[in-house]
């Protein structure tokens, strides 16, 4: 009976810590990668482990997290601007010489022999290239905006996970030699 209770307790304990395992592993990997920097900062602050650990955590934040956040913000902005650009260019006919589905169109002429081989199987005259390009741009933009919305929706969890990761990272740096 005691062994069954212990096994059940360990299963429940694992369920509680399951969501933290990835965060702790990520913090461990970062601690290993930045440990030489921690050692240099520790020498610079004359052996004050708490100060060195805190400064190293702040540097990790600046070196990794800030550029990643900026990258995703710029990616979303660029996707939206690209969609607007494609929609504008198609609407005002700037892309017509390239996408018209007849002789003289860049895509039409580029496909040459492939177009002739496919003509027996697919009705290529019914292809709406403008609509397809607009739909593709809209789909990609919608996906990226949806991902951004999901990130914002999960912002609380991201903050909590980031706090746990940096808390663990602080102690991995501070007590890394003991661990």
Q: Over 80: is that where the pLDDT of 71 sits?
A: yes
Q: Over 80: is that where the pLDDT of 111 sits?
A: no
CA distances from 121 to 100, 102, 117 (A): 21, 18, 8
Q: Over 70: is that where the pLDDT of 29 sits?
A: yes
Q: Over 70: is that where the pLDDT of 101 sits?
A: no
Residue 65 Ramachandran class (φ > 0 left, ψ -120 to 50 alpha, else beta):
alpha
- Among the listed residues 28, 64, 58, 30, the one whose alpha carbon sits nearest the alpha carbon of residue 45: 58
Looking at residue 171, its pLDDT comes to 93
Looking at residue 103, its pLDDT comes to 66
pTM > 0.85: yes or no = no
Q: Give the residue with greater pLDDT, 153 vs 65.
A: 65
């Amino acid at each position: 009976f005691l062994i069954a209770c212990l096994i059940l307790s360990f299963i429940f304990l694992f369920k509680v810590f399951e969501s933290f395992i990835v965060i702790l592993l990520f913090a461990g990997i970062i601690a290993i990668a930045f440990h030489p920097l921690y050692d240099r900062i520790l020498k610079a602050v004359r052996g004050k482990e708490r100060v060195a650990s805190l400064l190293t955590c702040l540097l990790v934040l600046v070196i990794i997290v800030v550029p990643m956040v900026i990258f995703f913000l710029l990616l979303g902005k660029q996707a939206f601007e690209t969609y607007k650009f494609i929609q504008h260019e198609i609407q005002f006919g700037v892309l017509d010489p390239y996408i018209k589905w007849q002789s003289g169109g860049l895509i039409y002429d580029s496909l040459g022999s492939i177009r002739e081989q496919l003509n027996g199987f697919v009705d290529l005259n019914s292809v709406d290239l403008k609509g397809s390009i607009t739909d593709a741009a809209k789909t990609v933009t919608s996906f990226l905006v949806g991902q951004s919305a999901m990130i914002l929706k999960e912002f609380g969890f991201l903050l909590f996970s980031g706090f746990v990761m940096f808390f663990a990272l602080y102690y991995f740096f501070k007590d890394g030699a003991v661990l």
